[in-house]
Structure 1
């Protein structure tokens, strides 16, 4: 189902990854690999694990990737991989 009124302010992205209900330990390991392979690109991450709300912003702060937008209610995170 496509949400036609998805916020127009959402950033454009280069790739999308739906991590589903993956726990944050495995999620962060796989995200690390994806971001390393895509320097400078924007990844639209969908993560429904409740820990992602805290873990994704913290991971970005620690690693230097830019969290452009977080929408925890929808489980969406837009991350720009460091160059």
Structure 2
């Protein structure tokens, strides 16, 4: 459960990453998915109710995790490109 919680926290930061990359529509989509992801996690861990497969919360949980990984990869690529530009300009 600890690994899942770590990825959920990383997914919760992803809307901010999309916002920094000027992908506002992805940021808003990720923010909506994050809310559903947390509802799903609370239902499973605290309430003990497992939502059905392909339900709204189930779909938002997994889509949020997938979209968060996309956000982190895009952010890392952006950081590397901007770092290369600044280091090349100093030489």
Which TM bucket (shorter chain)?
Answer: under 0.3
Q: What TM-score, normalized by structure 2, do the two folds share?
A: 0.25
Larger helix proportion, structure 1 or 2? 2
Q: What TM-score, normalized by structure 1, do the two folds share?
A: 0.26
Which structure's CA Rg is the greater one?
Answer: 2
